[in-house]
Amino acid sequence: MFFLPRPSRSGPIPVLVAALVLALGGPSPAPAQTTIHVSFIQPLVCFCAAPLYAADKLGYFKDEGLDVDLVTVNGSGAMFAAVQSGSAAFGFTNGLTLLTSVPKGLSLVAFVGLDKGQGGFNLVVSNAWAQAHGIKANEDYRSALRKLAGAKIGVLGTTGTGGLLLASFAKSVGLADDALSMISMTPAASNAALAHGEIDAWWQTAAAIGGVPAFRSSNLPKVSAVVGNTAFTTRDYMTKNRDVVARMARAIARGDNGLLDPRTQERALGAVFDRMPNLPRDEVRAEVLLTESQARTRNGELTAAMFDATNQIDTQLGLLKEPLTAEQLRSVYTLEFIPKRFIAP
């Protein structure tokens, strides 16, 4: 059990001042006069949160006058509840899931990007299943899925983004609805489950150890075009604490840029290694710096076109019963906090 820190009681600064701070940007933001404590909820430790880990380790939160308590909860549901209730200021999630919050009546707004494209899911097949069914590393997703008919596959959640993505694409290659048996479990449990034969494959952001990496979600059609992972808050918090949101956006942007800059890359990656000590460093490096489709962003990039694509694919996957209207879609994100000038790490 844990207790979430109380949200910041600091008030907003005038909109004109916030806009001026954002417009100026700069490689070395001036330290804030007062330190603001905020909670940032993550639904799991994952590669997609690398900019957060880098911003923490490299002191970018501190530079912005932020004391960030990064709290891990079990799944997106608990994270959304904490942010929506006000017991935490920030969370992160992928664009596909963020759009589904609108029909549920949640007032969540993405304000900066952590990566691009939904490319962080990995399908790792047990050595035994791979040998018995002829699945090779980095195989085409269509043939690999067909060879998994009858398999038990571990996922973070059967009704979450990952589970629905897998079910949708399995159906697209001609498999019956019950061809794959999906079992909900945490990433921490996947390694033992795979090793002991409790599951035949694992499909989630943190790749399991001890199997054959069959394919990743960046190989799935159009998935690389959608919004990747974003930092979000509530519209109410953003209205009342614009300066805090702007500081967080700048710190995350610097963290993402730190993963790209050769001068800071090793230290930035070290922050991720620290969070995932059980994974081989070469694997972590490859995941974080992936450039096939889920490329690292620059300055926390978000675009309206990415949200448009996400809206359509959410409907295609059944995550939304019908596409969000233009007004609903605009309510889920804002581009105003993304630094206008490149922020050097």
Question: What superfamily does domain 122-224 belong to in CATH?
Answer: Periplasmic binding protein-like II (3.40.190.10)
Can you tell me the distance from the alpha carbon of 48 to that of 294, in angstroms, rounded to the nearest whole number? 10
66-72/90-94 β-pairing? unpaired
Average pLDDT over residues 121-148: 94
Residue with tokens 């995550």: 319
Task: Dump pLDDT digits (tens) for 83-126.
Answer: 999 999 999 998 999 999 999 999 999 999 998 876 568 899 99
- Picking from 34, 44, 42, 43, the residue whose alpha carbon sits closest to that of residue 8 is 34
Report the mean per-residue pLDDT for the chain. Answer: 86
Which superfamily, per CATH, for 15-116+226-330? Periplasmic binding protein-like II (3.40.190.10)
Cα separation, 337 vs 114, in Å, equals 14
**Do 91 and 68 contact (CB within 8 A), yes or no?**
no
Instruction: Supply the pLDDT for residue 3.
Output: 39
Domain ranges of the chain: 15-116+226-330, 122-224
**Do the two domains 15-116+226-330 and 122-224 of this chain adopt the same fold?**
yes
pLDDT computed for residue 291 by the predictor: 53
pLDDT at 233: 98
Is the pLDDT confidence value at 303 over 80? yes
Average pLDDT value for residue range 284-306 = 78
First to last CA, the chain: 36
Question: Is residue 16 predicted with pLDDT exceeding 80?
Answer: no
